[in-house]
Amino acid sequence: MDLITPGFGLVFWTAITFLCLLFILRKFAWKPILGAVEDREEGIKSALASAENARKEMQNLKADNERILNEARAEREVMLKDARDIKAKMIADAKGEAQAQAAKMIEQAQTAIESEKKAAMAELRNQVASLSVDIAEKVVREELSNKDKQLKLVESMLSEATLN
């Protein structure tokens, strides 16, 4: 029944053995174990700090990318606006030039019509004058004393004469 109630010697030698084991573990195993645990703790802290830095850097990169994208969009809008302005200016210039050309052509056509009209009027005057001279000449050839003959002659000449 010694096993159920341990004696003083067993407790003493068990305590001494435990203290020796504790001393040996402290001297040889405790420092390396604590060093490994501290190294592991430092490694974890370092990894967490690196992860935090990487997260912040990713946020910065994302913000930079967003800023660059917004700048590119703004630049594209400016370029499109410039292109629209250039297009509108080109269309306006083309319309103005076409209107100027049309006005010039109308003016030239009016000038040509006027000159043709003047030439036709001059030709008509020449023909009328020539017909008048012909009629007067034929009338004078006939006897001026006979009025019936003169009237008949004028009527016949007028019916023969055609205006060109």
- Model pTM score: 0.41
The CA-based diameter of the chain, rounded to the nearest angstrom, is 196
Domain boundaries, the chain: 8-160
Contact, 53 vs 47, CB < 8 A?
A: no
> How many percent of the chain have pLDDT more than 90?
57
Tens of pLDDT, residues 120-161: 998 888 888 788 878 777 766 665 556 777 777 777 777 777
Backbone phi and psi for residue 143, each to the nearest 5 degrees, phi listed first: -75, 135
Backbone phi and psi for residue 7, each to the nearest 5 degrees, phi listed first: -90, 170
Which value, to the nearest 10 degrees, does the dihedral of the CA atoms of residues 34, 40, 45, 50 take?
A: 160
